[in-house]
Structure formats: structure tokens, C-alpha cells
């Protein structure tokens, strides 16, 4: 407006200098104002751009912070602070991030230490289980029990050591119970045998037989009550059949006498003596076999004396003949002693004597007697072993049916030791081996799947350290499996990226 007025004045007096000077001053002032306005506008635009860039970086940093990407967020907050060093917000956020990163580092180190501790415990656990299993296979039950308990203390949640402990304790309890029952049975057995023997001496045969049977139930392997029961049965049968067998006894007696007389007439005095003794056993009151036995002894004594004299007289001339007579005399003595031992049921002694007689003369009589003794010994042994073997098999089958494999194995082994020719206990032992392996494999499979489930869940959540721990456990449990190894490689790659 002032410039317009000066311009109007100059139009009236164009030669006047004053309005011209004022107009120049106004133009200079307006130019200065225009320049300052433009400069202020530029400064405002720059400030606006700086604020917008700062706000954008802060927004990005906040987003990174919210997503947990703390390291990148810290970089962004630092960039924002470089734009506006006076701002407190990015400084505060950087302090928060430093605290969070420090806490994460501490937690990672703690988790790593925990992982190492767990790995050490796991290795110790596996060593104890391996040691316990070896003791278990050797049937060193006490040592196995100690190691299984130590393993369970390390990992109380594991079922395998607890199952093994339960099985061993059951086995030990059964063995203890068996020993107690055995001791009780021995005491009862002795008392009942005494009662049975007293009744037997009193000729109360039926009552004594009942007592012997009770004793045999307590100790089935004992031969004495069996033999006594047999004796009682024989006595009872003889009493019942006394009249009926009288004629049969007489026939047997006469047959033995006839055989004895025949051998006596032929000069085979040792065999004759055996048959006279047999006849005398049939009818001990008869005098004839006693007289003949006395006569045989006298004849043998006379022959011996004669042989001694003949040997002395013809020592140099008839050595071979005298030697034959001496052998015959020795043969007769051996046969007589063998027959006596056989009659007394001293089978081993009788067999040795018959064998010595057979070395002197290859004759049928000692051969037949040796075969007879072998049959008697076999029958006696079979009788003793049979019942004990059946009892062991019955006990083992019962324990196997109850799935008490270790106990069943114990009894099958005892049965096999007693009768090694039977394949049944061997087959059952092989079956138990497969069942025990299957049970162990089943437990391992279950534990393996549990570890994989935990590992997969941890990996899915991004907990790489935890996932690695469980995959390593699974890999140690089943070293042939590829899956845990593949997952461990994946985890290693993920961790190397960070």
C-alpha cells in the first residue's frame, strides 16, 4: 500500500527523488521478506520430512519389537535416535531391548546347562540299565536290583526299571518262600517218617502206608518213603494173597532147588549157591537149602585146600593148569560176593564184582547179572528223577502262564539240568527268551515314541534346544533309526542361521 501511494505521488511529480528512494527501500524490504519466507518454508519442509522419517523408523522398530525381533528393532531405534538425538522414547526402548536380550542369553545358557546335565544323567541312566540287564541275564538278582533302583532314582518316571524291580522282587520272594516251604517240609517230613516207621515196626501197615504217602507228598524226590510204600504194598499183597500164593511159592522154591541141584551136580558151586540162597529166601525155614549151602562151603573149602596142595606140589610142572584152578577159585569167590551184594541191593558193588569175574572167564551168568543190575539202576534213577522233574515243569508252566518270565526261566533251567534229554524245557526257555525280548522291545518302542512326541512338539513351538535334547535321547535309545538324526541336522541348520 505504501509503495502504491509513493507511486501515485511520483506520477504527480516525476522529478521528485524522495518517493523514488522510498519505493526502492520498499522493494528492498519486500525482497528481503520474500527470501526469509522462502527460507522458512524450506526449513519447515525439512523438519516435516525428518519427523516423518523418524515416525516411520519408530513405527518399524515398534513392529519389530512386538514380533520379538529385538536385535533388528534395536538397530531401528538407534537409526531413529540418530535423526532425533534428544528423543527419550527410542532410548527407553533400546534399554528395554538390552534387558530382554540379556535375559534371553541367560535363559539360553541356563537351558544349555540343563541340557548338558540331563544328557549326563541320561548317560548314567543308560549305563546303569545296561549293567542291571547284564546282571539280570546272569541271574545275579541282588546286583541287578541295586542298579535298577539307582536308574529309577535318576528317572522316576521310567517304567522299565520299575517293572524289572517288581519282577526280581517277586522272584526273590518266591525263592525265599520256596526255601521256607522246603525247611518246613523237611521238619514235617522227619516227624511223619518217624511216626510211619513206628507204625511199620508195630505192623500197622495200612496206617504206616498213609503216613509214608503224606511224607512223599512233602518230599516227592525222596526214595525212602517210596521204597517203604512199596514194601508195605508188598506186605499187604502178600497177606491178602498168602494162601493163594502158597502153591506158587512152593513152585518157585522147587524150581530154584532144581536149578541149584543141577548146578551142584555139575560142580558149578557158585551158581548153585545163588539158587540155594534164592530158595532159602522163598522159604527160610527149610533146612535142605541150608544144608546144601553148608555142603557147598565145605566143598569149596576142600577144593581150595586141594588146589593149594596141588599148586604147591606141581608149582613148576603144571603152572598153567594150576593157574586155571586158581582163576576158577577166584571166579567162584567173586560170583559169591556179587550174588550177596545183589541180594542186599548193593548194585554198584555187585556190578563191580561181576565185571571182575567176567575178566577171569567170559561166561553168560555174570553178563546176565550185569544187565539185570543196569536195568535196576536205571529204573531206580528214573523213579527218583521223574516226580521231581514233573513238579519243576508244573511250577514253571504256572509261572509262565502268569507272565513271571524270570521265575519260570529259573524252574525250566532246573528241570533241564535234571533231565537234559527232554526238549520241552529247552523249547520253553527259548520261548521265554523271545517273550522277554519282545517285552523289552515293547518298552523301548513306547519310550522312543514318547521322546519323539516331546521332541516334535518342542520343534513345532520353536524350542530348538529342548527339541534337540529329546531327539538325542531318542537317537541314543534307537541308534539305527534315521528320523531323529534327520531332525537333529535340521535343528543344527536352523541354529547356524542365527
pLDDT tens, residue by residue, 334-372: 888 898 988 888 888 898 999 999 988 888 888 888 888
CB under 8 Å to 462, separation ≥6 — which residues? none
Each domain of the chain, given as residue ranges in start order, spans 2-105
What per-residue confidence (pLDDT) applies to 401?
Answer: 86
Report how far residue 430's alpha carbon sits from residue 442's, in angstroms, rounded to the nearest whole number.
18
Is pTM beyond 0.75? Reply is no
CB-CB contact of 64 with 97 (8 Å): no
What per-residue confidence (pLDDT) applies to 81?
Answer: 92
Q: How confident is the model over 491-496, as a mean pLDDT?
A: 84
Report how far residue 469's alpha carbon sits from residue 305's, in angstroms, rounded to the nearest whole number.
101
Report how far residue 140's alpha carbon sits from residue 149's, in angstroms, rounded to the nearest whole number.
14
pLDDT tens, residue by residue, 88-124: 999 999 999 999 999 989 998 998 898 888 899 899 9
Q: Would you mind telling me the total number of residues written for the chain in this entry? A: 498
Question: In angstroms, what CA-CA distances link 203 with 194, 198, 224?
Answer: 14, 9, 18
Q: How confident is the model over 459-488, as a mean pLDDT?
A: 88
8-22, 48-62, 301-315 — which is least confidently predicted?
301-315
CB under 8 Å to 89, separation ≥6 — which residues? 58
Q: Which of 32-36, 240-244, 267-271, 435-439 has the highest mean pLDDT?
A: 32-36
Q: Where are the beta strands (DSSP E) in 247-369?
A: none
What per-residue confidence (pLDDT) applies to 63?
Answer: 94
Q: Which three cell numbers stand for residue 131?
A: 549293567
DSSP H helical ranges for 219-345? 223-240, 242-265, 269-282, 288-313, 319-343
pLDDT tens, residue by residue, 216-242: 888 888 899 998 998 888 888 787 765
What per-residue confidence (pLDDT) applies to 287?
Answer: 93
DSSP 438-478: HHHHHHHHHHHHHHHHHHHHHHHTT-HHHHHHHHHHHHHH-
Report how far residue 343's alpha carbon sits from residue 281's, in angstroms, rounded to the nearest whole number.
10
Q: How confident is the model over 267-296, as a mean pLDDT?
A: 85
Q: How confident is the model over 365-385, as a mean pLDDT?
A: 77
What per-residue confidence (pLDDT) applies to 89?
Answer: 93
Q: How confident is the model over 404-427, as a mean pLDDT?
A: 86
Distance of CA 239 to the CA centre of its chain: 57
Q: Which three cell numbers stand for residue 214?
A: 503224606
Amino acid at each position: 500500500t505504501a509503495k502504491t501511494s509513493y507511486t501515485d505521488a511520483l506520477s504527480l511529480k516525476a522529478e521528485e527523488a524522495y518517493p523514488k528512494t522510498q519505493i526502492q527501500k520498499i522493494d528492498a524490504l519486500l525482497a528481503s521478506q520474500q527470501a526469509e519466507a522462502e527460507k522458512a518454508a524450506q526449513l519447515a519442509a525439512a523438519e516435516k520430512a525428518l519427523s516423518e522419517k523418524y515416525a516411520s523408523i519408530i513405527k518399524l522398530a515398534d513392529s519389530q519389537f512386538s514380533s520379538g525381533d529385538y536385535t533388528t528393532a534395536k538397530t531401528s531405534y538407534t537409526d531413529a535416535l540418530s535423526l532425533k538425538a534428544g528423543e527419550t522414547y527410542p532410548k527407553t526402548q533400546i534399554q528395554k531391548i538390552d534387558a530382554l536380550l540379556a535375559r534371553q542369553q541367560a535363559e539360553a545358557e541356563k537351558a544349555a546347562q540343563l541340557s548338558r546335565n540331563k544328557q549326563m544323567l541320561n548317560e548314567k541312566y543308560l549305563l546303569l540299565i545296561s549293567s542291571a540287564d547284564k546282571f539280570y541275564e546272569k541271574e545275579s538278582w541282588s546286583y541287578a536290583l541295586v542298579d535298577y533302583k539307582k536308574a529309577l532314582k535318576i528317572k522316576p518316571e521310567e517304567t522299565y526299571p520299575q517293572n524289572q524291580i517288581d519282577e526280581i522282587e517277586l522272584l526273590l520272594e518266591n525263592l525265599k518262600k520256596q526255601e521256607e516251604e522246603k525247611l518246613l517240609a523237611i521238619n514235617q517230613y522227619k516227624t511223619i517218617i518217624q511216626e510211619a516207621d513206628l507204625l511199620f515196626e508195630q505192623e500197622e501197615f495200612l496206617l504206616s502206608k498213609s503216613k509214608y504217602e503224606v511224607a512223599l507228598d512233602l518230599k516227592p524226590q525222596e526214595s525212602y518213603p517210596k521204597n517203604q510204600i512199596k514194601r508195605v504194598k508188598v506186605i499187604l499183597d502178600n497177606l491178602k494173597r498168602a494162601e493163594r500164593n502158597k502153591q506158587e511159592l512152593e513152585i518157585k522154591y522147587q524150581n530154584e532147588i532144581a536149578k541149584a541141584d543141577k548146578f551142584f551136580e555139575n560142580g558149578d558151586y557158585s551158581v548153585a549157591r545163588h539158587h540155594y540162597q534164592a530158595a532159602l529166601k522163598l522159604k527160610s525155614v527149610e533146612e535142605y537149602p541150608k544144608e546144601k549151602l553148608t555142603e557147598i562151603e565145605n566143598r569149596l573149602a576142600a577144593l581150595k585146600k586141594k588146589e593149594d596142595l596141588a599148586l604147591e606140589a606141581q608149582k613148576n610142572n603144571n603152572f598153567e593148569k594150576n593157574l586155571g584152578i586158581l582163576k576158577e577159585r577166584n571166579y567162584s569167590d567173586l560170583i559169591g560176593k556179587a550174588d550177596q551184594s545183589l541180594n542186599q541191593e548193593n548194585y554198584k558193588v555187585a556190578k563191580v564184582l561181576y565185571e571182575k569175574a567176567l575178566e577171569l572167564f567170559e561166561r553168560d551168568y555174570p553178563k546176565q547179572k550185569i544187565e539185570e543190575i543196569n536195568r535196576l539202576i536205571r529204573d531206580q534213577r528214573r523213579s527218583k528223577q521223574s516226580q521231581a522233574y514233573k513238579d519243576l515243569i508244573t511250577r514253571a508252566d504256572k509261572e509262565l502262564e502268569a507272565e513271571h518270565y524270570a521265575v519260570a526261566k529259573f524252574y525250566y533251567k532246573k528241570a533241564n539240568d535234571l533231565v537234559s534229554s527232554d526238549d520241552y524245557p529247552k523249547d520253553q526257555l527259548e520261548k521265554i527268551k523271545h517273550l522277554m525280548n519282545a517285552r523289552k522291545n515293547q518298552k523301548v518302542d513306547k519310550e522312543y515314541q514318547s521322546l519323539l512326541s516331546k521332541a516334535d512338539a518342542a520343534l513345532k513351538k520353536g524350542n530348538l534346544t529342548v527339541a534337540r535334547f529329546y531327539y538325542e535321547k531318542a537317537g541314543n535309545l534307537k541308534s539305527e533309526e534315521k528320523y531323529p538324526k534327520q531332525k537333529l541336522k535340521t535343528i543344527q541348520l536352523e541354529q547356524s542361521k542365527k
